[in-house]
Amino acid sequence: MKRDIAHYTLVRLLPQVDAGEFANIGVLLACPKQGYFEFRLIKRYGRVTRFFEEFTGELFLRVRREVEAELRHIHAQIGRSGASDHALVLRVLQDLTKPRESMVRYAPLRMLMTDDPEAELKRLVARYVQRDGEGLRQRREEALTRHVNKVLRTQQLAHVFEPDEVGPDEFPVQLPLVYERDGQVLAAIKPLDLTQDEPVKIYEHGGLWVGRLRRLKSLGALPAGMLVPVDGPKAADTRRYQAYADIVRELGEMNIEVTQAANNERILEFAQARVAAA
């Protein structure tokens, strides 16, 4: 089947415009040759509200309704016949993606070739919206690491703990905060985000790190001092909290110390004690 030109944009949510951090919450795709103009927006907001803690579910739903109303209005304006007018569709999309000063923005317009725009829309949603949950998790874990670094800086210890690989050549593990002296790894800190929106995701991500650290231990390469500052769900969220507690327990069974990411005092005590012991 002949492939036709399609244009698409990502719907982005920026709760804190100054910070520049965003989450992709939808995709709009138009294929004028086939009279196609459709969009998809996420319905579940858990991962967004857990990453952007100041952004409530109620606010998300209100913003989503506004975005949906805007896109449905555009869809109605173009109509079935207008969706086949390439110049009209392109002009509408270019106007939509112009820079705007609001928490909802549209990514610069992109183009692709497709013979099935509906399938293409699903693929884009899977790639940029559903996988964006992983991006949020990574950014949250990076934020936890920056927090620990900030704590270490209060006692001039940030330069002592640096990113490095731990383990033998056949199983190297990259850790964000490693204390090494005379070529020997003496301690490491690995902030861990366990706030995912479903228990299975907490088990998957936590289990990934439990597995990595267990393998290092079996190879005799786990640092003697290992601290895992964690951020997890509230106890009232029983199913997610149980998954979180299971991961914490499994880390403890390997004699790995776990503390709350907000426990600045314990993080600092751990770092100071390990440096002093060397």
pLDDT value, residue 134:
59
Q: What are phi and psi for residue 66, nearest 5 degrees?
A: -65, -45
Q: What are phi and psi for residue 115, nearest 5 degrees?
A: -110, 0
**Ranges assigned E (strand) in 84-183:** 104-106, 110-114, 161-166, 173-181
pLDDT value, residue 22:
82
- The per-residue pLDDT for range 61-113, each reduced to its tens digit, is 888 899 999 999 988 888 766 677 888 888 989 999 998 888 899 999 999 99
CB burial string 114-137: b at 16+ within 10 A, e below: bebbeebbeebbeebbeebbeebb
Q: In the chain, helix, strand, coil percent, each to 5? A: 45, 25, 30
Give the domains, in start order, of the chain with CATH numbers.
4-130 (no CATH), 134-277 (3.40.1350)
pLDDT value, residue 114:
92
- Of residues 17 and 202, more confidence is placed in 202
Record the pTM. 0.58
pLDDT value, residue 235:
92
Q: Where are the alpha helices (DSSP H) in 83-131?
A: 86-96, 117-124
Residue 225 burial by Cβ neighbours in a 10 Å radius (0-12, 13-18, 19+):
buried
